[in-house]
Structure 1
Amino acid sequence: MTTYSGPATLILADGARVVGMASLGTNQRGDLNGWSGTFRPNEVSRDVRNASDGLQLELPDEEIGAVAVTSIRPVLATQVLMSLVGRGPVPF
């Protein structure tokens, strides 16, 4: 399993950029290949809460992967944790 944990930028469908922290890993179970993980944005907005598809995740080395949000859950009053599933090549 390959993993990445650190800073990342979520690029919303409209091009808005949201800075935060990502924790990602590859999925290799049987015939299932791919990657998934979580993203915790530094700031939460309505656009972030409504994000679902057409998103990209950019890592510090400028590698970008397409992602979709599978769930968003509150962590604290002002923070959320977004569960992501990767689409396409692994960016880490």
Structure 2
Amino acid sequence: MPPSHPRPEDIQVLADALSATGEHTASAGELLLDHLVTVGDHATQQALDGLVDDAVDGLREISAGCRELALSLGPVATRASASDRATDTGARPQVRELR
């Protein structure tokens, strides 16, 4: 079972990893477009163009999703870090039991 209060540094590491993944997938999509070839046969070219377009669209969606999650985690890490500094007594936070 995951901890009920994640550490702020863990949240920040996750946000950084999501941000990096967003950057990498965006650049991978651009790289894929840069390497698009012309094959000569019309039907084959249409199929290749459709495949590349779908792949680039998928990479852009992954990139946008990762960036959105990273942005939403930023304030969470900041709030968690501030609350930990305010209540830092060296002990773990108190957790209520679920009923």
Instruction: Give the strand-richer structure, 1 or 2.
Output: 1
Which of the pair has the greater relative contact order for Cα pairs under 8 Å at 6+ separation?
2
Larger Rg: 2
**What is the TM-score of this pair, normalised by structure 1?**
0.20
Instruction: Give the helix-richer structure, 1 or 2.
Output: 2
